[in-house]
A and B are shown apart, each in its own frame.
Chain A
Amino acid sequence: MTEDSRAVEISNVANVTMHGGAHAWRRRRESVIYALLVLLSLIPILTTFGIIYVLFSQAFAFFMEVPIMEFLMGTKWSPLLIPRSFGVLPLLVGTLLVTVAGMFIAVPVGLGSAIFLSEYASPRARRWLKPLIEILAGIPTVVYGYLALLFITPIIRSIFPQANAFNALSAAIAVGIMIVPMIASLSEDALAAVPSSLREAAYALGANKYEVITKVVVPTASSGIAASFVLGISRAIGETMIVTLAAGATPNLTLNPLESIQTVTAFIVQISLGETPWGSLAYKTIFATGALLFVLTMLMNLLAVRITKSKGRF
């Protein structure tokens, strides 16, 4: 072997080792990143399970003392004042009253703006309006709460003098306005996803624009639109700040929106801020009502997922 060829061979060996070293290091780095990502993604999952565990174990402790049927069917809610009573219906009806009345505003306004954006607005106008509507969704709910209390309530009381200073209607209107951007944005996505070939087919059959929208575009997007409604309901059920500020703090089994009521969420705020002794029965009501809310909103969200999955093929 000549001097030269040996030098080449040595440099080749050096090359290979260097190469192998870099490769091993890169592989180690990959597995570290992999482990880190797994760890990070476990955090929200474990947190969720932790919340569910705390919620239901404390709720279970509550139901050891109060029969579950008494809780679900009882018509009087008075967990602090003696004689105590743990019927959740007044809170539940309060929540549903605000939700249903809120949806009466959110559905027509939200769907109407979605149809306008998707079918009538020029592409230029849509580029401006859609982000604007989505910004509305970012307004803190405490602002909506004060809007209800200081602006909507006086208007309601000037029309209905018998209305309470805190009333369900005012909160429901604010909740409805709060949900509009969500329904508008999600429904617009659903409408925009309807293939233009279907609009063309309808036009070519001699339909006018109104007929194309009401008989082809909206029915085709109906699953996405329904899902946006359900998510809106879920959001209204869980809404806390607006109802705490504007709807009152009177557990009141009524369907009259002009009266003061209390929702499930507003009750949880009230009792969390009070001087409820840790571990007492009143303290455990937080978890019982919290578990009820959790079940309600989870059912709604599952329903939304189901509706979206049943989407017809285009």
Chain B
Amino acid sequence: MTARVKIDDLCAWFGDQQVLYDISTSIKDRAVTAIIGPSGCGKSTFIRCLNRMHETIPNAHRTGQVLIDNADIYDHTVDPVTIRQRIGMVFQKPNPFPRMSIYDNVVAGFRLNGTARRVNLDQIVEESLRQAALWEQVKDRLKEPGASLSGGQQQRLCIARALAIKPEVLLMDEPCSALDPAATHRIEDLIHKLKKNYAIVVVTHNMQQAARISGDTGFFLDGTLVEFGRTKGIFTNPKDKRTEDYITGRFG
């Protein structure tokens, strides 16, 4: 499998406070990479650096490179807007737009940047909702507000919204932490299907989840990437003592 995203010496700050230290690793295409670690270890900041969301926070900045297909997304000629269209993101709490219908939520990416007239919206809505395994449940009520769905359905709507703009990489920041076990199970199934077409990075608190869904796992602690490798290896035979302590539940 080929590397899709390469991260080189990535450091990140909020104001004067450094939160990531010299992260270097690579993300494989058509596979799931899990990012685990205790709260505040920098895992969310790490994935937010991969689609330039980190810099939307006032006073936040970073150094180092993030390469997609060998091109640096932080090159000064690159518009962050195009990067975010290529690298989709799903957030911890489902956040459909409350004033938009289910239909409009799915195509929000096109509506927001004024490209809705250039594409076949109906087709995109059906395709994206099918990919997110939500089509059958909502096809007869596409005009209803997105907020009328259950939490798990809202999260799948957000996944459909991210997929609609045809990203190459999908970042998921604890996508199941606000969901019940049944909804979590459905999202995990979905991630399993989506990895056939996308490079997926999932931040999770839940180590069983990381073990279930991912091929590679990275363990973060205090802003450093302690260990990165095949998920099976990390969970059965961790090389670093701190990784072992974390996955055996000794802290965090």
- B56, B98, B112, B158: the one within 8 Å of A314 (CB): B98
Instruction: Give the chain B neighbours of A205 by CB distance below 8 A.
Output: 84-85, 88, 108-109, 112-113, 161-162, 165
B143 within 8 A of A: no
B51 within 8 A of A: yes
- B81, B95, B162: the one within 8 Å of A208 (CB): B81
Query: Is A201's CB under 8 angstroms from B84's CB?
Result: no
Question: Which of A207, A212, A312, A313 lies at the interface centre, i.e. has the most chain B CB atoms within 10 A of its CB?
Answer: A207
CB proximity to A under 8 Å, residues B126-149: 145, 147
B97 within 8 A of A: yes
- B58, B84, B96, B158: the one within 8 Å of A206 (CB): B84
* Alpha-carbon gap, A313 to B111, bound state (A): 21
Identify the closest chain B residue to A212 (Cβ).
Answer: B112
Query: Is B91's CB under 8 angstroms from A201's CB?
Result: yes
CB proximity of B149 to chain A, nearest CB, Å? 12
B93 within 8 A of A: yes
Query: Is A206's CB under 8 angstroms from B81's CB?
Result: yes
Instruction: Give the chain B neighbours of A216 by CB distance below 8 A.
Output: 97, 112
CB proximity of B177 to chain A, nearest CB, Å? 13
B53 within 8 A of A: yes
CB proximity to A under 8 Å, residues B156-177: 158, 161-162, 165
CB proximity of B48 to chain A, nearest CB, Å? 9
Query: Is A201's CB under 8 angstroms from B97's CB?
Result: yes
Identify the closest chain A residue to B81 (Cβ).
Answer: A206
Identify the closest chain A residue to B87 (Cβ).
Answer: A204
Identify the closest chain A residue to B93 (Cβ).
Answer: A197
* Alpha-carbon gap, A222 to B99, bound state (A): 10
CB proximity to B under 8 Å, residues A192-219: 195, 197-208, 211-212, 215-216, 219
Query: Is B97's CB under 8 angstroms from A220's CB?
Result: yes
- B58, B158, B165: the one within 8 Å of A201 (CB): B158
- B88, B111, B145: the one within 8 Å of A204 (CB): B88
Instruction: Give the chain B neighbours of A140 by CB distance below 8 A.
Output: none
Identify the closest chain B residue to A214 (Cβ).
Answer: B112
CB proximity to A under 8 Å, residues B200-224: none
B82 within 8 A of A: yes
Query: Is B95's CB under 8 angstroms from A206's CB?
Result: no
A74 within 8 A of B: no
B27 within 8 A of A: no
A200-B91 CB under 8 A given contacts A206-B85, A206-B165, A215-B111:
yes
Question: Which of B84, B93, B114, B158 lies at the interface centre, i.e. has the most chain A CB atoms within 10 A of its CB?
Answer: B84
B89 within 8 A of A: yes
CB proximity of A34 to chain B, nearest CB, Å? 42
CB proximity to B under 8 Å, residues A157-211: 195, 197-208, 211
A280 within 8 A of B: no
CB proximity to A under 8 Å, residues B7-44: none
Query: Is B113's CB under 8 angstroms from A211's CB?
Result: yes
A11 within 8 A of B: no
CB proximity of A205 to chain B, nearest CB, Å? 4
CB proximity of A254 to chain B, nearest CB, Å? 41
Instruction: Give the chain A neighbours of B88 by CB distance below 8 A.
Output: 204-205
Query: Is B98's CB under 8 angstroms from A312's CB?
Result: yes
A17 within 8 A of B: no
* Alpha-carbon gap, A311 to B16, bound state (A): 39
A123-B98 CB under 8 A given contacts A205-B85, A206-B109, A216-B112:
no
CB proximity of A196 to chain B, nearest CB, Å? 9
Instruction: Give the chain B neighbours of A211 by CB distance below 8 A.
Output: 112-114
* Alpha-carbon gap, A201 to B114, bound state (A): 16
A206-B112 CB under 8 A given contacts A200-B53, A200-B91:
yes
Instruction: Give the chain B neighbours of A122 by CB distance below 8 A.
Output: 58
- B95, B145, B162: the one within 8 Å of A197 (CB): B95
* Alpha-carbon gap, A314 to B93, bound state (A): 12
* Alpha-carbon gap, A267 to B109, bound state (A): 55
CB proximity to A under 8 Å, residues B81-125: 81-82, 84-85, 88-89, 91, 93, 95-99, 108-109, 111-114
Further pairs besides A198-B95, A202-B112, A203-B53: 16, Cβ < 8 Å: A195-B95, A197-B91, A198-B97, A200-B56, A200-B91, A200-B95, A201-B108, A201-B158, A204-B53, A204-B89, A204-B162, A205-B108, A205-B109, A206-B84, A216-B97, A216-B112
- Ranked nearest first, the 5 interchain pairs of A and B with the lowest CB-CB distance are A206-B85, A207-B112, A205-B109, A204-B89, A197-B95
- Could you tell me which B residues sit within 8 Å of A by CB distance? 51, 53, 56, 58, 81-82, 84-85, 88-89, 91, 93, 95-99, 108-109, 111-114, 145, 147, 158, 161-162, 165
Q: List 21 A-B contacts (CB under 8 A).
A: A195-B95, A198-B95, A198-B97, A201-B95, A201-B96, A202-B97, A202-B108, A204-B84, A205-B108, A205-B112, A206-B82, A206-B85, A206-B165, A207-B112, A212-B112, A216-B97, A220-B99, A222-B99, A312-B145, A312-B147, A313-B98
